[in-house]
């Protein structure tokens, strides 16, 4: 995969994870991505981890949350320290 395609994929994933955050640099305390979205976009758990690592330089934890189909099905809760490099991480 080219750098351009990787960046586009990671950016799309990170946009979903940080939807309800004030700043992308904040700690990720309750990011969420559903398995249906992952399947639709051909994303894996590893893609989610790499996306957060790419933008924050921190490794996230993913916790599987199980919901019935009426609630949208299963998905992953994502937590990470947030951006911690350079002046923006101060």
Neighbours of 63 (CB within 10 A): 11
Task: Return the pLDDT at 47.
Answer: 96
Helix, strand, coil distribution of the chain in percent, nearest 5: 45, 20, 35
Domain assignment of residue 15, given as a range: 3-89
Local mean pLDDT, 10-residue blocks, the chain (90 residues): 82 92 84 92 95 90 86 86 63
- The count of structural domains within the chain is 1
């Amino acid at each position: 995969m080219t750098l351009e395609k990787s960046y586009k994929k990671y950016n799309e994933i990170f946009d979903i994870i940080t939807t309800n955050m004030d700043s992308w640099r904040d700690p990720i305390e309750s990011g969420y991505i559903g398995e249906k979205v992952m399947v639709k976009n051909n994303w894996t758990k590893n893609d989610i981890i790499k996306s957060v690592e790419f933008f924050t330089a921190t490794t996230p934890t993913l916790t599987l949350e199980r919901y019935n189909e009426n609630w949208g099905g299963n998905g992953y809760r994502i937590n990470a320290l947030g951006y911690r490099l350079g002046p923006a991480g101060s």
